[in-house]
Each structure stands twice: as C-alpha cells, then as structure tokens.
C-alpha cells in the first residue's frame, strides 16, 4: 500500500535526504513546466533506472506503487481522449507516474527520521511565528506510520461486514465503512495521544 | 489576563515512598469510575485485577499522571502527578494494551528511539541504546522493518522495548497480554519477571500474578481486596462467581 523504507546498502540510500528531496522538487517543476511527452517519458525512465540500479530496489516496490495509481492514470488518459486529445492524456499520465515513482524511490531509500530532520530544518524559520518544527516533523512521521494501520482497520471493518452478508463495494458500502472507521480512528487517536504523553512528547 | 500557573520546582524524588494514592476519586462526566482509594504501593510486583469497566484502566493511568484524579492526590516517589506530570512520566513508563496505539514511528528502530529523542539523548548514544534494547528483546533483525509488518507478539515486545529504553524507575502495564497468544503471553510474563524496576500490571491473565508481592482487586471503582496473590485471586473468583 505504501512504499516504505527498503533497507539496502546503495548509493541512493547514502545520498543525504535533503538532496533527494531537492531533486524531487526540481523534477516536479521541470516535468510540469515542460509538458511534452519526451520530457515526461525521459523522467519516468530515469526514475525507474535510478531506483533499480542506483537504489538497488526490487522491481516489485515500483510495480506496486505504479499499480496503486494505475486507475488514475487510465482515468486521466480517458478524460483527455474525450476532452482534448490522446497525446495530452498520455503525457499527463506519464508525468503523474514519473512523479509518483520518484516519490516512492525517495521514501524507499530514505529513513523517515532523515526525512523528518529535513522537514524540521526547512520549517525552522516558522519558529519566528510560534510554530514548533519538531511537531511538524512528528506529524509527518506519524502520518507515514498510521496510513497502513488505518488501511488495515478499514479492511477489518469490511471483513466484518462481508462476514455478515454486507456489500463490500459501491457507494452504500463506502458510507457503511466510513462511520465505523471514523469511530475506530478517533478512539485510536485518543490512545495515541496518551502514548505520546507517556513517552515524554512535549505536548504542553 | 490569564496567567499560566508556575509549577513549583520538583522536589527530589524519594523512591522509598513508592506510589501513594490519598483519598483518590475519579469522575468522567457523571460517571464515577473510582472512589475513596487510599493505598501505598512500595512492593516490587503489584497486580491489579477486575472486571471490564471496574475502573482498573483509569487506576493504571493515574499512576503516571496520564489521568489526574478529580479528587485526592497521587504521589509517585513523593512527586504529585497533578503538579509534576513531566517528572512523573519520566519516572514511570507505561505500556498499553494495544501496541498499535503506542508505536508512533514507521520503523522499529526509529520508534524505539522516539522516547530517547524526547529526553534529549544525543544521536550516537541513542543509536547505541536502541541497538542494545532491540538485541535484548530479539528485535535486532527487524530494526529497519516497518512496524506494521510485525506480528502481534513482536509489536508488544516493540512497545515494551520503546518504554524500557527510556530506563524508567517504575513501569505500569495495562493489560499487556490481552491481545496475545499463549507463547507471547509467556514471553511478556518472563520479561516482566526479569525486570529490575518496580512493576504494576493490570491484567485478566491471572497466571501472570503467581510470583507477585501484592494483588489488588478493583470492583465498582473501589479496591475490594488487597492481599497476597493466592487469597486475592480467590476473592476475585468468588466475586465473579456471584454475578
């Protein structure tokens, strides 16, 4: 579901997190300011090669990530095929795929603590307006930690509903999922808050 | 203008005083969950048993200041949990029933290091202590693994490791084995038995209490029995048999 850190001894793993994030930002800017197919395709090929060779990542990591956005890529191409033309659609789809995979390569080769340290450094000037960078960093780390957990809880609710003969697809099933999931997540949030306190987080 | 109340400087903690509850009561809204609790816990191993909803989880949370009593005072080694919450939490580690709620970082090693970071331990010492704790609890090979891929038993070990790495003077465990199978329950029981720290364990697993010094039975928000494990557990069984 989420391409998390994949421990390897590689060049990309050793590259400082700040550099990788900067490259990601520059790549995003380039791909969007020069909206042509060769640039988008080049970016995609570059990202895949970098991830596989310089990052020594298993191809499965990238495939899994690509599959997660496949629906959107197809939807975008279809939309453009109707609204504008197929070429624009393909360019946009490849662009999206390149950026998603680039982000996946960065997350898979960078420890969250290193990412968080960069986020905290970038947010340091916000201290002047009373924001604590350490808190932003913690929020980022916790988001990464809890996304798979919330997904797991959603699966468990779906299973429970299916076990009692409920529908698991369609808009009605979604509504029936959201309410118990929200309750479960709010309860979880309460205990997590206590745990942060118990482990000495600065929540004053 | 509202002013923040300046808390008094923390007095030097006195470990011989143990955990003391003086006339403690707690109310959530209109529901009274604890009333008139007067206790001094100085034993090395204290167990707490009680039915669901008896108030034992609130009792556990009082002991490290996660919950401040609505009446009375809780003193940990002489420190009042209402006024010295920070010092109290440093002294008393807390393990929750559901490890998923207390693992806050994506990977194992990062999560164990979290409490140390809060204590301001420098990075190299942090790495050393994390590695040492992970090795001691058989999690070393999982150091860089995502926490959500661990088994239930491993997650609970990770949660305990994340607390022990902070070297608290006392540890409170709230139903640490409720979600675990027999093997992992035994593993946690052995781990608890081997700790140097004073321990308070809230549990439904009565076997866990065998070697304990003292067991409290909580019912309807009161401590209704307070004894050695065998007579206390017998009293608890008798109490439940009447329901």
Any CB–CB contact under 8 A between A147 and chain B?
no
End residue of a domain, out of A94, A110, A126? A110
Q: Which residue has the tokens 């400087």?
A: B9
pLDDT by residue for chain B (243 residues), tens only, comes to 444 454 566 678 888 889 999 999 999 988 999 999 999 999 999 999 999 988 899 999 999 998 999 999 999 999 999 999 888 988 999 999 889 988 988 889 999 999 898 888 999 999 999 999 999 998 999 998 888 889 989 999 999 999 999 999 999 999 999 888 999 999 999 999 999 999 999 999 999 998 999 999 999 999 999 999 999 999 999 999 988
* Boundaries of domain holding A175: 135-198
Residue A115 lies in a domain: no
Whether A95 and A140 share a structural domain: no
Q: Do A200 and B66 touch (CB under 8 A)?
A: no
- Distance from A143 to chain B by nearest Cα, in Å? 9
Residues in B touching A195 (Cβ below 8 Å)? 94, 96, 101-102, 104
**Whether residue A100 is found in the same domain as residue A60:** yes
Classified as helix, coil or strand, A125 is helix
State whether A105 and A156 are in the same domain.
no
Report ipTM (2 d.p.).
0.75
Q: Which parts of chain A sit beneath pLDDT 70?
A: 1-3, 203-204
Residue B33, phi then psi, degrees to nearest 5: -100, -25
DSSP 3-state of B47:
strand
> Between chain A and chain B, how many beta carbons pairs sit less than 8 Å apart?
87
- Regarding whether A16 and A106 lie in a shared domain, the answer is yes
Whether the Cβ atoms of residue B111 and residue B105 lie closer than 8 Å to each other: yes
Which one of A145, A188, A192 has the shortest CB-CB distance to B106? A145
Q: How close does chain B come to A80, measured CA to CA in Å?
A: 38
For residues A77 and A167, membership in a common domain is answered with no
Inside any domain, residue A33 = yes
Cα–Cα distance between A167 and A158 in angstroms, integer? 9
Of the candidates A182, A152, A57, which has an alpha carbon nearest to the alpha carbon of residue B103? A152
- Same-domain status, A90 and A149: no
What is the C-alpha to C-alpha distance for residues B18 and B232, in angstroms, rounded to an integer?
A: 21
Q: Are residues A104 and A157 both part of a single domain?
A: no
Residue A23 sits in the same domain as residue A62? yes
Same domain, A34 and A94: yes
Spatial distance between the Cα atoms of B63 and B80, rounded to a whole number of angstroms: 10
Co-location of A139 and A91 in the same domain:
no
Residue A117 belongs to some domain of the structure: no
Alpha helix locations (H) across chain A?
11-14, 17-33, 37-49, 59-83, 86-109, 112-122, 133-163, 171-198
Does A106 share its domain with A142?
no
Taking the C-alpha atoms of residue B21 and residue B32, their distance in angstroms, rounded to an integer, is 17
A30/A102 same-domain check:
yes
Strand order in the sheet with B214-219: B92-95, B170-174, B198-202, B45-50, B214-219, B222-227
In this structure, CATH architecture of domain B17-241: 3-Layer(aba) Sandwich (3.40)
Cβ–Cβ under 8 Å, residues A154 and A177: yes
What is the reported pTM?
Answer: 0.77
Element (H, E) at B96: none
User: Does residue A52 belong to any structural domain of this protein?
Assistant: yes
Counting the structural domains of chain A, the total is 2
Place of tokens 């010094």: B213
Determine contact: A155 vs chain B, CB below 8 A: no
């Amino acid at each position: 579901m989420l391409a998390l850190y994949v421990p390897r001894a590689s060049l990309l793993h050793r590259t400082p997190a700040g550099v990788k994030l900067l490259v990601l930002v520059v790549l995003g800017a380039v791909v969007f300011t020069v909206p042509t197919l060769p640039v988008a395709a080049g970016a995609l090929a570059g990202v895949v090669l970098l991830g596989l060779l310089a990052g020594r990542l298993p191809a499965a990591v990238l495939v899994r990530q690509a599959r997660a956005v496949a629906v959107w890529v197809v939807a975008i191409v279809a939309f453009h095929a109707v609204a504008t033309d197929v070429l624009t659609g393909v360019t946009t789809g490849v662009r999206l795929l390149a950026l998603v995979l680039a982000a996946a390569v960065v997350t898979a080769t960078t420890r969250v603590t290193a990412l968080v340290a960069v986020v905290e450094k970038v947010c340091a000037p916000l201290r002047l307006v009373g924001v604590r960078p350490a808190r932003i960093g913690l929020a980022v780390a916790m988001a990464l930690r809890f996304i798979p957990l919330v997904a797991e809880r959603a699966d468990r609710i779906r299973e429970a509903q299916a076990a009692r003969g409920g529908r698991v697809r369609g808009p009605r099933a979604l509504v029936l999922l959201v309410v118990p999931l929200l309750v479960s997540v709010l309860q979880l949030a309460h205990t997590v808050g206590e745990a942060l306190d118990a482990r000495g987080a600065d929540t004053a | 203008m509202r002013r923040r109340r300046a808390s008094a400087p923390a007095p030097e903690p006195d470990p011989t005083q143990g955990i003391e509850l003086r006339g403690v009561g707690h109310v959530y809204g209109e529901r009274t969950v604890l009333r008139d609790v007067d206790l001094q816990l100085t034993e090395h191993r204290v167990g707490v048993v009680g039915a669901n909803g008896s108030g034992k989880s609130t009792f556990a949370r009082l002991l490290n200041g996660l919950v401040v009593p609505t009446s009375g005072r809780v003193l940990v080694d002489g420190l009042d949990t209402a006024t010295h919450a920070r010092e109290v939490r440093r002294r008393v580690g807390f393990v929750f029933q559901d490890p998923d709620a207390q693992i806050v970082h994506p990977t194992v090693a990062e999560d164990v290091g979290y409490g140390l970071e809060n204590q301001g331990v420098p990075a190299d010492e942090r790495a050393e202590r994390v590695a040492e704790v992970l090795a001691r609890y058989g999690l070393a090979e999982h150091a860089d693994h995502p926490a959500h891929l661990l088994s239930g038993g491993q997650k609970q070990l990770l949660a305990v490791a994340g607390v022990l790495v902070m070297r608290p003077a006392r540890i409170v465990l709230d139903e640490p084995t409720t979600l675990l199978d027999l093997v992992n329950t035994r593993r946690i029981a052995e781990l608890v038995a081997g700790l140097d720290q004073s321990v308070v364990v809230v549990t439904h697993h009565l076997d866990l209490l065998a070697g304990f010094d003292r067991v409290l039975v909580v019912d309807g928000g009161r401590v209704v029995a307070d004894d050695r494990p065998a007579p206390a557990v017998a009293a608890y069984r008798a109490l439940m048999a009447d329901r």
